[in-house]
Structures are given as C-alpha cells and as structure tokens.
Amino acid sequence: MKGDLAAKVKEATSDLLEGLSLELVDVHIGRERGSTLVRIAVDKAGGVDVEDCAGASRLIGQVLDREEVVEGRYLLEVTSPGIRRELQSPEEYRWSVGKTVKIRLREPLKGKTTFRGTVREAGREAIVLDTGEERLEIEYEVVSSAVLDPDLPW
C-alpha cells in the first residue's frame, strides 16, 4: 500500500516538479496524528530553500487533491533532502559528480568497507571515487549506503 501510494505521488507530481526545475529525490509515506503523512524531498542545482519548498507544497497539494491521489486526510511535507543526502540510484550518483561522499560497502575492498572521497565519474554499473590517495572503481551492487559528506565550515 505505501509503495503503491508513493509511486502514485511520484507519477502525479513529476511533471509539476520538472516545471518548477525541482528534482524529486524521495517520497516517504507514513502515519502521523491519525492521518497519512506524505513527505516529499526535492532538490535543485544549488540547493532548495524554504520558499522553494513552500511554493512546491502549495502546488503539489492542489495536484494531489485534484487527482484524488491520497484517500482521506493527509499531511503534506515538502523538504530538502538535507546536506547529507542519501544516494540511491545511478542518476543520483551522476548528480553528485564533483561532490564529496561517504560510501559503505557490503564487502571489503582493499581491506576496508568505508571510503570517503570525491565522485569523479558515475557510469551505469559503477562510480569512480577519488579518495585523495587513490582512485577506486566501485560497483553499485557492492554499495551498502552512500551519502553526501560535505566539508562544513564549522
């Protein structure tokens, strides 16, 4: 049910978000205060701000209501994916080229399961990660998790 609803929300909002120059990062369906919670994470080059989220929320709410995507009462949250955005698909890895990431592997590579570095390439099957010491080709299928890991100024 949750997966089906998430897919329906993605389908109903994809054209709208594209028109707003926003990328749909994730749709989470849950329960909160007796209502269905629809949490949508969006992003764009340079990041999103409160105004981007508020504007998208108003329009997404109108689309979900008009197309009756969610049955009954629901709460809608439109958010940024945050500075530690999780990478889940080859498209998201391509988006992250040039950015610093932290990757955990299912099995050791060169004796380690965790690497931090800059994504230099993102192909169909693997990424090239520059750790500062070496460049590693890491296949997506061995990645357990990957998140953006920017150097913060504080």
What CATH code is carried by the domain that includes residue 139?
Answer: 2.30.30.100
**38: its two tokens:** 């629809």
Residue 154 lies in a domain: no
Locate tokens 């100024």: which residue? 153
Answer yes or no: do 95 and 75 share one domain: no
pTM above 0.85, yes or no: no
| Domain edge (last residue) among 79, 103, 136 | 79
The whole domain housing 57 covers 2-79
**94: its two tokens:** 């391509």
What CATH code is carried by the domain that includes residue 12?
Answer: 3.30.300.70
Q: Is the pLDDT of residue 2 over 70?
A: no
**Of 63, 67, 77, 66, whose CA–CA distance to 32 is shortest?**
77
What pLDDT digit, counting tens, does each position of 35-61 carry?
A: 899 999 998 888 899 999 999 999 999
Q: Cα 104 vs. chain centroid, distance in angstroms?
A: 17
What pLDDT digit, counting tens, does each position of 133-147 carry?
A: 999 999 999 999 999
- pLDDT, residue 150, reads 81
Residue 84 lies in a domain: no
